[in-house]
Amino acid sequence: MKHKRNRTKHDKIIDALEKVNNIEKHLYESLLKTLEDDNTLPDNVTGIVIKIRGILNIYKSINANCIEYWKLRGWSDIDSYKMAYKQRTTLKGKKSPFNYKFWIDKGMDESDAIIKANSIRPICKEYWIEKGLSELDAMHKAQQVKESNNKKGAMASSTQDVRLKRIFSKRCLEYWIHNGYEYDEAVLKLGEHQRTFSLDLCVKKYGHNDGNIRWKDRQEKWLNTLSEKSNIEILIINHKKSRAHKKTFQNNKFYVIEMIDQYNNYYIKVGVTCKQIFSRYSKHISDGWKISILKLIDNIDCYKLEQRLLLDLHNKDFLPVKKFDGYTECFPIDMKLIILNYVDEYINEFELHPKRYI
């Protein structure tokens, strides 16, 4: 940087642009030209910074891990999300003054460190006690700030572009498409990623005992979450799942099976799989279940058949004695003939009018 007395107008503009920081390249060049042509420009860097912030509508300080910070500096929606996401992930693992461990590293004992960290957070009573409030008033004030922050956070989440969030989640199809995969390839990549928590992989990663415990815990959490949803919500989830898979997995088979659990309870189960049936239910068989194949079809859109059958025949009041992966596609044994007849009629209609079922 040149000495203050020797800096030209151009030098001061550059300094001011650097102070505003992180301005998108094309906007940076445009601002530079505009400011150089401005004959009313202040003669000092601080005045030019204020001028630039006014042009960009930056009237309050916003942290760089916020999307709005980047958008105000000329970045596109997607790039703003990327940059904010990068900032947040870069900060992970770094100790912040808001974390008591930061102050322990500075030489404080743990109790003093906790008080110090809380004293710079308006959501903590210690912050307001340092401002001179009584402990009771400080607690009320801290609670008000928490509630205000929660409302602001809820409003921000409701207005945020969900599409952008999906682009950065490996659990979403949009992530893989955005990263250059064709639709069919993206579906396969998504499937591969979703299978990374299989029992086999858990056992390989954590050992037989710990792997089984971790996998079962994850499955139970998932089943509990699913059981809280209405049957309509579950069917909608299945319908969305079918739309994402039907274009890719051409080797799928629709099946109707009879299941007898280890307690001698009978069920009819429908589903779609690309595996052999007894391979698909190997865990059940090893636990003492008996499986009989009643129907196996592989020459039509299996997912469409499954979803139509579930929508038309699903008994919302029926649940197996023991929940398992796919329990929502189970029926009482007395519906066996109804289901088999439904499938036969669907197949006959498909053969007569195949275009209706594409």
Task: Provide the pLDDT for residue 176.
Answer: 76
In the chain, what are the domain boundaries? 4-89, 95-162, 183-228, 231-357
Mean pLDDT of 59-68: 80
CA–CA distance, 296 with 278 (Å, rounded to integer): 12
Class of residue 35 by CB neighbours under 10 A (exposed 0-12, middle 13-18, buried 19+): buried
pLDDT the model gives residue 258: 95
What's the pLDDT score for residue 33? Answer: 92
pLDDT at 294 exceeding the cut of 90: yes
| Residue 121 pLDDT level (bands cut at 50, 70, 90) | confident
Percentage of the chain modeled with pLDDT above 70: 75
Bridge partners (DSSP) listed for residue 266: 260
Helix (H) or strand (E) holding 257, with range, is strand 253-260
Report for 77-86, 195-204, 282-291, 325-334: range of highest mean pLDDT:
282-291
Q: What are phi and psi of 293, to 5 degrees?
A: -85, 125
What pLDDT sits at residue 162? 56
- What is the pLDDT confidence band of residue 18, given thresholds at 50, 70 and 90? very high
Instruction: Answer whether residue 320 shows pLDDT above 50.
Output: yes
For residues 124 and 351, the model is more confident at 124
Report pLDDT for 266: 92
- Residues 6 or more apart whose CB falls under 8 angstroms from that of 243 comprise 303
CA atoms of 335 and 192, how far apart (whole Å)? 35
Residue 243 has pLDDT above 80, yes or no: no
